[in-house]
Copies of this chain bind each other. A is one copy, B any other.
Amino acid sequence: MEQINTYINTHKDRFINELNDLLRLPSISADPAYAEDVLATAKAVESSLIAAGCENTEICETKGYPVVYAEKMIDPNLPTVLVYGHYDVQPPDPMDLWDSPPFEPVIKPTKLHPDGAIFARGACDDKGQFFMHVKAVEFMIKNNQLPCNVKFMIEGEEEVGSDSLGDFLKKNREKLKNDIILISDTGMIANDVPSITTGLRGLSYVEVEVTGANRDLHSGIYGGAAPNPINVLAKMIATLHDENNHITIPGFYDKVEIISDEERAEMAKAPFDLEEYKKALDIGDVHGEKGYTTTERFGIRPTLDVNGIWGGYTGEGAKTVIASKAYAKISMRLVPDQDWHEITDLFTKYFESIAPKSVKVKVKPHHGGQAYVTPIDSIGYQAAAKAMETTFGKTPVPQRTGGSIPIVALFEKVLESKTILLGFGLDSDAIHSPNEHFGVWNFLKGIETIPYFYKYFTEMNA
């Protein structure tokens, strides 16, 4: 298996060039204007899987964007690894905060990535990370080192809620049959502190609309007498948290998994520097639920954040208008065992109930997903931990993170498989933000580590 290092050294420039070609495609699933680019990306992903030596590749149609499938079956008696990833990316805005164009990848060193990082939308989330798997499998196939079967399922709607994936899984249960699902779409604590994600938060994402008068009004003539939907929306949003930053939606916390003091003490041992955290974000203070530490706030507690707000005049200069409508996009991160459908209902009822009589309110659910926890005594986790230990020289830390990959819970339900979240990004890689990047070292380290997972997972299953 030492060949992997030689193979990486020989081919690393090509690996990066191939990834950059993928990153140049603006596969923004949220914006219909980019539909052709999303489809072109699916084709490019399929080509890369063929080039890696996979077989039976297919661009599987869905109601939305297609899922790219590929496999390399060597023996039905050996275990099968199913790799999941997504080829779609977040919208790049706000554009003016990017130091270089989001779809023209450039490599620049950063403090945490002295060997250089690839700057582009999707570099880390998730093109760079799923492409590590393509290259790791390429190595194993071309060097006769593949110890088991492998299947790929790379989708194009992760950033907009994976709407078509549930159907796809249900229709292709047999084809997708596997012994473990492997995903690189999370991060690790630091390049010298490898970690494996064992918990993910669920999600409920809604859009709200508050309507005052049937048209925009002059604030001089109507101000103070007619309802102002922006002021009303602000007050309603403010009402969603109490003075301790607890969420006020009745029933919201009812099913939240209770974590014992022992478990909290164990989690508190993971390295975390609050001063560094504040400094990195340039904030005077953190801001969260009373009674919980910062790592608990994003790791084990549910949260509610406004992701976007708009209404009235937002152009240059001044306009003395009272808007007819104001809008917000609001998402809630959920923890085991909150049910996202139930939470969406609770939110909707409460939000409607706190509206004054002077306005009309609409709540439109966008999408959601359940939270997920991986047991660390499973073969999958043990194989992943041993692989990281081999290439990092350190036992990885099991870590619960705040992000959501809603489909992980779905995989367990429909495919009856556990998922291993083996990510190589860093929290500072600015995914979903301007200047997203992915360390070249991390990219190559992922390609190096993945074949060991296959080796150990096959051995442990023997």
Instruction: Please give the residue numbers on chain A whose beta carbons come within 8 Å of chain B beta carbons, in ascending order.
Output: 29-32, 90-91, 93-94, 97, 159-161, 187, 201, 203, 205, 207, 212-228, 230-235, 237-239, 241, 281-289, 294-295, 297-298, 301-303, 305-324, 326-329, 331, 333, 356-360, 366-367, 401-404, 427, 430-435
Contact between chains at B316 and A433 (CB < 8 Å): no
Kindly state the separation between the CA atoms of A226 and B297 in the bound complex, as whole angstroms: 9
Contact between chains at A238 and B227 (CB < 8 Å): no
Kindly state the separation between the CA atoms of A81 and B209 in the bound complex, as whole angstroms: 49
Contact between chains at A358 and B283 (CB < 8 Å): yes
Contact between chains at B311 and A308 (CB < 8 Å): yes
* CB-based closest 5 A-B pairs: A220-B403, A224-B303, A30-B317, A308-B312, A238-B238
Copy number of this protein in the oligomer? Answer: 2
Q: Given A234-B238, A234-B306, A287-B228, check contact A220 B333 (CB 8 Å).
A: yes
Q: Given A213-B281, A286-B226, A433-B217, check contact A319 B91 (CB 8 Å).
A: yes
Closest residue to A281 on the B side, CB-wise? B213
Task: For the complex formed, measure the closest distance between the CB of A170 and the CB atoms of chain B, giving whole angstroms.
Answer: 23
Q: Can you identify 19 A-B contacts, CB atoms within 8 angstroms?
A: A30-B315, A30-B317, A91-B313, A91-B317, A187-B221, A207-B318, A212-B283, A212-B287, A223-B331, A224-B302, A224-B333, A225-B287, A225-B294, A231-B306, A283-B358, A285-B358, A306-B312, A307-B319, A318-B329
Contact between chains at B306 and A230 (CB < 8 Å): yes
Q: Kindly identify which residue among B31, B217, B283, B435 contacts A281, using a CB–CB cutoff of 8 Å.
A: B217
Q: Given A217-B433, A283-B212, A283-B213, check contact A367 B318 (CB 8 Å).
A: yes
Kindly state the separation between the CA atoms of A307 and B366 in the bound complex, as whole angstroms: 27
Q: Given A283-B226, A298-B225, A315-B31, check contact A310 B307 (CB 8 Å).
A: no
